Amino acid sequence: MTNSAAHSAPRSDSRRRDLALIHLAKKDLVQSGILDEERYRHVVQGILIDLELKSTRDYPSAADLDATGRTRLMQVFRSDFGWKDRPNPHLKRQHRYVGRGQRGDGIYITQEQADYIALLEDQLGWPDSPRRLLGFIERQLGAKSTVEMLGKKNATLVITGLERLTGYKPHPRSKQPV
């Protein structure tokens, strides 16, 4: 096996993943009315020109881009058009924080509360900065604690504080994580 053949399989898998993500982002942006086919082709053409690449088709396509071009196109989708990655529904759900309690036992934080704290943390833009949440918990409760070590009552206090920060106002009759 030649050296180039040994490296072609991982590159093609990466290329397929990149193109699938580009297709998904393009579909989301077109459906939301932010992007149309003509503007998409114009963006791709601009990247092809910047990287001095040539299209093999009559129209520019993401398939003509190399890895750098595909990365740049995704950056444009995210920064210029505001596209955000959506979770893959086929992947097993990963929990950022683990709740050990059961609904109604009153001792430990439940998984539902832990997931809700993670959701509010995402809405505040804090997931990449765990110290912000830990500092918030300390200010809210007056003591240092991680999410996993919160009791149910304290978790409710933290959730209420995070909801206030996000501006979330639950409907008076809605069922909230407890």
CA 51 to chain centre: 28
Integer-rounded Cα Rg, in Å, for the chain is 23
Q: What is the pLDDT of residue 57?
A: 81
Q: Does position 127 have pLDDT exceeding 90, yes or no? A: no
| Mean of per-residue pLDDT scores for the chain | 81
pLDDT reading at 7 higher than 50:
no
Share of the chain above pLDDT 70, in %: 80
The conformation of residue 177, written as its DSSP 8-state character, comes to P
* Res 92 pLDDT > 60: no
DSSP bridge partners of 40:
none
